[in-house]
Amino acid sequence: MSAVQKTRAEVLDGRPVAEQIKQDVRAEVTRLWQDHGVRPSLAAVQVGDDPASAVYVRNKVKTSEDLGLASEHHALAASTTTEALIELIADLNRRDDVDGILVQLPLPKQIDEVAVIKAVDPAKDVDAFHPVNVGLLAMGRPQFVPCTPAGVIELLERNQITIAGVNACVVGRSQIVGRPVANLLLQRHATVTICHSRTADLSSITRQADILVAAIGQPALIRGLYIKPGATVIDVGINRVTDRELARELFGDVAETRIEAIDRRGYTLVGDVHPAEADLVAGRRTPVPGGVGLLTVAMLMRNTVQAARRRRGV
């Protein structure tokens, strides 16, 4: 299927939903302070100087401050050991003025990522990666919901997209997105299929989905023939494209702005869905950027406020 000259699918813009959630968080932070003298606090921990991680952490810290939360940024050297990182986490666990702890992933290779995740107090685990929180989510009794999967559900529900009774397919089985979003869809009474890198005849399965969530980390893997006509397509992927001709093929009639981005900064972003082809078939589609990614930070802020409420008995 070739690139298109006219967009057909409705764009599910993440911006208005993210702003609504942030407004709710800001109002809640104000109430907590005025009524109880409580100011929710987030501690963000970054190890090493990975540029993408640095941008993500700065964005999270800035957003928390903009919404009235207290925040602190712990930037550690790339040579930091597992033991040193766990010692810092233990200190943050003990501090009563810290409500949420975020350890930015991925971590340098010498660090035991599983041990670090398990070291975070589940009551402060606002990313919801700790085994206790993973288990509670699987049981349908979540203390916190992982931020990106929670954002996917918010995007669907606030756009009044029916989940109960429909066929949903999640492409990707990571603990961060694929499995938890499948669980959340199942808890809302969708019939859920999980696909992955070893799924045979992937397109024949994804074409049955009324809601298709792509979270496999392969640029533009989901092409038009993978999509059921009229389906809602949620693109969680974030991948860099540096080739101008590939950008032209992927983005069709809006390719020039993407090519300008490549010329200006060396890359443009594409998700796990082929945007031009998806627009020919899907009923609704999230853009990249501007879709699910914007909701991830908003949901982190909401989790931090929830942690403050629970921990302080408010």
pLDDT for 1: 43
pLDDT for 8: 83
Nearest to 147 by CA among 55, 49, 14, 274: 14
pLDDT for 2: 42
- Residue 282's φ and ψ, nearest 5 degrees, are -65, 155
pLDDT for 51: 82
Q: Report which DSSP code applies to 107.
A: P
Q: Is 60 a catalytic residue?
A: yes
**Angstrom distances, CA of residue 25 to CA of 16, 34, 92, 125:** 14, 14, 23, 18
Q: Is 23 a catalytic residue?
A: no
Q: Is 104 a catalytic residue?
A: yes
Q: For tokens 């945007």, what's the residue?
A: 275
What angle in degrees, to the nearest 10, is found between the helix axes of 292-311 and 147-158?
110
239-241 and 232-235: which strand pairing?
A: unpaired
Q: Report which DSSP code applies to 48.
A: S
Q: Which domains does the chain have, with CATH numbers?
A: 38-121 (3.40.50.10860), 146-294 (3.40.50.720)
Catalytic residue among 22, 46, 99, 104: 104
The pTM of the full predicted model, rounded to 2 decimals, is: 0.93
Show the tokens assigned to 245.
């001709």
**Angstrom distances, CA of residue 213 to CA of 93, 104, 149, 237:** 34, 24, 10, 10
Q: For tokens 């975070």, what's the residue?
A: 120
Catalytic residue among 99, 121, 125, 127: 127
pLDDT for 158: 96
Q: Report which DSSP code applies to 43.
A: E
Catalytic residue among 60, 99, 124, 228: 60
pLDDT one-digit tens code per residue, 240-262: 999 999 999 999 988 999 999 99
Q: What is the pLDDT along the chain (314 residues), one digit of tens a residue?
A: 444 444 589 999 999 999 999 999 999 999 999 999 999 999 999 999 888 888 889 899 999 999 999 999 999 999 999 999 999 999 999 999 999 999 999 999 999 999 999 999 999 999 999 999 999 999 999 999 999 999 999 999 999 999 999 999 999 999 999 999 999 999 999 999 999 999 999 999 999 999 999 999 999 999 999 999 999 999 999 999 999 999 999 999 889 999 999 999 999 999 999 999 999 999 999 999 999 999 999 999 999 999 999 998 88
Measure the CA angle with vertex 175, ends 186 and 227; round to 5°. 55
pLDDT for 11: 94
pLDDT for 5: 42
pLDDT for 4: 41
